[in-house]
Amino acid sequence: MVFLLVNRNKRRRLWPILMLGLLVVLSVLFFEHYRLLSDKTMAYQWLSYEELQARFIITSDVLLGKALQILLPLTIAMLYLNLISKREEYPLNAGNIMLLCLAAFILMFSSQDFIQLMAGSCCFSILGFYLINENTAKNKFIFYNFIAEMAIFTALAIVYAKTGDVRLNTLDAFVRNGWHKDLVSILLIIGVLMKSGMFLFQNQLLDLQKLSFNRMLYGALFVAPLSGLVLYVKLHPLFLISQYTTPILYGILCCTAVLSLLGMLFQDNIKAKILYFYMLFFAFALFEIHRAPENFVAQVIPMLPSVLLVGWGLMLASVSASDEVYVSQMGGFARALHWNLLLTLFVTAVFIGSVLQIENTWMVWSFAGVSLFALAAILHAVYLGKNNADEKVTALLRNAGWLYAIPILAGSAVSFYALNTWQAPLFWGMLGGFVCLWLLLPQKLVNLFAENESLQENDWQSTLYRLIIVSPLRLLGRILWLAVDFVVIERSIIGTLSGSMEFLENGFNRLQTQSGKNYLILTLVGIALLLLNIGIYVHE
């Protein structure tokens, strides 16, 4: 918040460096003292309405501690990337938003009632709005997130209407009674899937490819999708009350996995490939959390560093090739970018290690298989085969400088050591398999549809939504406006009223004119009124 007050145009690098330094110091202090806090709660009585008692709570429980042990270093890494990214115009702004996102995560994760949970979730939407500095991407992000927030807002409003309590630990009462269970459950699942950018709602995630790498990586990993996962963890009992939730969820997650694989393989833009990989990861994460919410801290969060590193590793190829993003314009970079290649392979090894530490299920193997296959194909197309880059790019090919390389090397080494899965024979087996795939997969597999503009450029999903949702709504609005407002109200009702008034006015005017007939009519009306009055009097 303090850094928000700083002029972003003055000392553009100094302030972010100070911010980074401050976060490093705070992180060191955090790691030193967190255990001493053990389950301490800071609570502030926020709302004390007669029917609604909401508290602002921050706890120092073990789970939050574990999550922060990973998220804090990752935020430091992202602040660092902001600093070194040449395309980042305002590193201080981006850094501010990243720190506030961390605060929003703590807010959401510590929440013990709906109000704090929703406030945290909406904070992510607002921060995403300010993080994304490209208008179309921002537009899609906020529309999807707004609708998602409204779906969650409505579902929780129904829960509150029935239980009269906003505390999360009273959800069991609602689950037992199952009021509007299908509606609540489906609204929530739609909200979470939208925020996480799953199939049918992936546009908001994929449009991040229009941003610079630092903003894109952060936006795709730590903003809306992460808040979607926290929502799922916190409201887990509510997702299970409807029989439709699991089929809907699994159906969409499967479609997401297929779409991610196709996207990683056939989208030409390397940024899109990274985003599809992240989409696949979040689909896997949702599946794991649906199986058991504890997996969020136990399995999903520990995988974040390796997933981020894979994105970072793929980014290196683009940075070294004069910011070229099309894989079809790459190929055969292994000789010129050998350090990049080694780093990327090391990162992939870390990713394999992180997969191996997860509980052994068919879904884990599917996720690992799909990811590694696609990664091998991408790396082959970039580093092996025929060089398709133009002469200028080829001439300027340089391994990414130490500013990029050292953090990735250090991060991978620390992760590799911490994971401690490299002693397992399976690790070496998987790594060997990956290397074989990388060497053997044909270059043309990835470049198969690179020339197909309708596949690469067209936004089919937006067109579809425009066709099936927006256009009918617009048509309905136009019909209501023209047919009801103009024809029914303006012409008919108001027209009739005006006509009636005019008719009465003319009638009375004519009665006022001098003629024996009018005199007779008025006299008769007067006599009739007199008789009526006498009649009422006699009756009473």
Partner 1 sequence: MSSPFALLSLIVALPFLGMLFVLTARDEGAVKGRNAFNVCIFTIIANIILIWRIFMILNEKSRELQLLEKFSWLSTPNINIVLGVDTLSLLLILAVHLAVLIGLSGVRNNLYKQKSLMVFTLLFLSMVTGFFVAADIFSFYLFFEAMLVPLFMIIGMFGEVKKQDLIYRFFLYNFIGALILFSATMLIYHHQGSTTLEAVSRLPLKGGIGFYVWGAVCLSFLSRIPIWPFHYWISSINSGIRNPLAFVITALMPLTAIYGFIRFLPPHFSSGIDNYVVWMNIIGVITMVFIALIGFINKDAQYKIFSYITVYYIMYLLGIFTNDEVIVFNIGYSLFGFIIVISALEVLSGYIIHKEEEAESTSRGFLCRARKLSFVYSFMTLAAVGLPVSAVFVNNFLILSKLLGTNIKMGMLLVFALVIAGMTLLQELFRLKDDDKSCRLGKSDDISLPWFWFMLFMTFILLMSFVKPLWFVISE
* Site for partner 1, rule CB under 8 A: 46-47, 49-52, 54, 114-115, 118-119, 122-123, 125-126, 129, 135, 138-139, 142-143, 146-147, 149-150, 153-154, 156-158, 160-162, 180, 183, 473-474, 476-478, 480-481, 484-485, 489-490, 493-494
CA–CA gap between residue 328 and residue 272 (Å, rounded):
13
C-alpha dihedral, 25 to 26 to 28 to 33, nearest 10°? 140
Q: Taking a C-beta distance cutoff of 8 angstroms, is the pair 326, 270 a contact? A: yes
φ, ψ dihedrals at 244, nearest 5°: -85, -20
Residue 112 or 443 with smaller CB distance to partner 1: 112
Beta carbon of residue 141, minimum distance to partner 1 (angstroms, whole number) = 11
Beta carbon of residue 22, minimum distance to partner 1 (angstroms, whole number) = 24
Beta carbon of residue 51, minimum distance to partner 1 (angstroms, whole number) = 5
φ, ψ dihedrals at 44, nearest 5°: -125, 125
**Residue 513 tokens, joined:** 């004119």
Beta carbon of residue 494, minimum distance to partner 1 (angstroms, whole number) = 7
Beta carbon of residue 154, minimum distance to partner 1 (angstroms, whole number) = 5
Query: Element (H or E) spanning 98, and its range?
Result: helix 91-110
Residue 33 or 474 with smaller CB distance to partner 1: 474
CA–CA gap between residue 503 and residue 509 (Å, rounded):
10
Comparing CA positions, the residue from 366, 371, 346 lying closest to residue 422 is: 346
Beta carbon of residue 509, minimum distance to partner 1 (angstroms, whole number) = 19
Beta carbon of residue 136, minimum distance to partner 1 (angstroms, whole number) = 8
Residue 204 or 260 with smaller CB distance to partner 1: 204
Beta carbon of residue 481, minimum distance to partner 1 (angstroms, whole number) = 5
Which residues partner with 48 through β-bridges?
A: 53
Residue 417 or 481 with smaller CB distance to partner 1: 481
CA–CA gap between residue 173 and residue 189 (Å, rounded):
20
Beta carbon of residue 148, minimum distance to partner 1 (angstroms, whole number) = 11
Beta carbon of residue 128, minimum distance to partner 1 (angstroms, whole number) = 11
Which amino acid is residue 429, in one-letter code? G
Q: Is 286 exposed, middle or buried (0-12, 13-18, 19+ CB in 10 A)?
A: buried
Per-residue buried b or exposed e for 176-202, using 16+ beta carbons within 10 Å of the residue's own CB: eeeebbeebbbbbbbbbbbbbbbbbbb
Residue 439 or 504 with smaller CB distance to partner 1: 504
263: how many CB neighbours lie within 10 A of its CB?
A: 21
CA–CA gap between residue 451 and residue 447 (Å, rounded):
8
270: how many CB neighbours lie within 10 A of its CB?
A: 24
Which residues partner with 58 through β-bridges?
A: 42
Beta carbon of residue 301, minimum distance to partner 1 (angstroms, whole number) = 25
**Residue 371 tokens, joined:** 């990811």
Residue 468 or 473 with smaller CB distance to partner 1: 473
Residue 125 or 399 with smaller CB distance to partner 1: 125
Q: Which H, E and C letters describe 153-167, residue by residue?
A: HHHHHHHHHHHCCCE
Residue 31 or 46 with smaller CB distance to partner 1: 46
Beta carbon of residue 43, minimum distance to partner 1 (angstroms, whole number) = 15
Residue 140 or 290 with smaller CB distance to partner 1: 140
Query: Element (H or E) spanning 54, and its range?
Result: strand 53-59
Residue 66 or 167 with smaller CB distance to partner 1: 167
CA–CA gap between residue 373 and residue 261 (Å, rounded):
9
170: how many CB neighbours lie within 10 A of its CB?
A: 14
State the number of CA atoms in the 13 A half-sphere of 488 facing the CB: 7
CA–CA gap between residue 315 and residue 361 (Å, rounded):
30
Residue 173 or 534 with smaller CB distance to partner 1: 173
Residue 154 or 366 with smaller CB distance to partner 1: 154
Q: How far is CA 70 from the centre of its chain?
A: 20
